[in-house]
Amino acid sequence: MSSLENALIGEYLVTDFVGAGGMGEVYKARHTHYGRVIAIKVLSEGVTDPNNIRRFYDEAGIQASLRHPGVAEYLGFYEYRSRPCILMEFVDGITISDLLSQRGPLPPSEAYRFACAIAEVVAHFHKNGVLHRDIKSGNVKINSAGAIKVLDFGIARFQHTQKLTSVGMVIGTPGILAPEQVKGREVTPATDVWQLGILMYEMLTGKLPFGADNPSALYAQILNADYTRISKVQATTPSSFERVIDRCLQKDPAKRFASGSELLMALQGTLKSKSDPVPKPVPRKIPLLRLGVILGSVVFIALAIGVIHGYHPAAGGSPIGACFEGDPGTDSPNAEKMVRLDTFEGSAQVFCKDQLVGVTPLTMQAKIGDKIHVLLRREGFRDTEKSFDVTERSVYTFVMDRK
């Protein structure tokens, strides 16, 4: 049991240990009267360096200054036995890092949707003078409603405040550092843009663009912006999307998008690009996974990738096959078709046999007569199980009841 479990912090009773980082520990807590569940970040015991303590207080101030649906809501500050605590909204769901571990690379349409949502949040940071400096897949969550939340302001700072890091000192996650961070130089909003470029690359390919066995080799790659272009790894990525990512990963900050707002406009502009129209559906044969039980013969499905149309086809690592009751279309003479699952009032997570397979709208390949069973989950709504037979219809939209 963690040291703070069952502790009473203000009016909140700590119930669970969530995780720990460099300077803080995160706990789940429940209000003793109203039952509201929140997250509490506590400065780690034994942290005595004045700069680290000041950074923790700055983190609270930064989070308090931000008001955006893509940021966990700041609820207050408290000291528990001389240890400072940040009280904030508890964000359920999974990180993009976990999603990639489960499913592998995301379809370009899904990666694009997440990229736009994250860029919008980062644009809000920059508008309020905040530099996050650690935008990575492990710091971005997809909650139960399918919405993006950018987390962890542990090394964030206001752009024009005094630096706490000495010149020449490298701070941050090695694989996502921008060249100016590696050199220990001043960071700007363009630094966050670089990290967003890395995150988009990772969503599309399942791996970071820069990676080596030792820091020296890694930093040499970063300083030279030496990476394999996405089109050589994920050929279905629209070239306009790739060009946006390539500009994010320019080693000279002046050649990148200057802010999250500029990046967001560029991403939105890819939908209007006349030189790069939405590609026609390209068949791509990918095996369905056998999850939990033997689903029978591996079935190959043709995927259609379309950024504008919002397709969410099954990616290489996706457990979409678990949604079918029995072997999907194995013995059926019927033609294959694209079936889209959707929900009223926003997106919902889609689970099949306890595996998260995506969020609505979710598109999968099926045949008329196939039986599909899914569990829909969204924050503030009751879990909803749906079973249906595939018919001539292409879209199946479900209503979820509020709690």
Which long-range CB contacts under 8 A does 29-36 form with residues at least 24 apart? 32/8
Contacting residues for 182 by C-beta, under 8 A, at least 6 apart: 170, 219, 222, 223
Active site residues: 134
Would you say how long the chain is, in residues? 403
CA pair distance 185, 316, nearest whole angstrom: 40
Q: What distance in Å separates the CA atoms of residue 28 and residue 26, rounded to the nearest whole number?
A: 7
> 3-18 burial string, b = 16+ CB within 10 Å, else e?
ebeebebbebebeeee
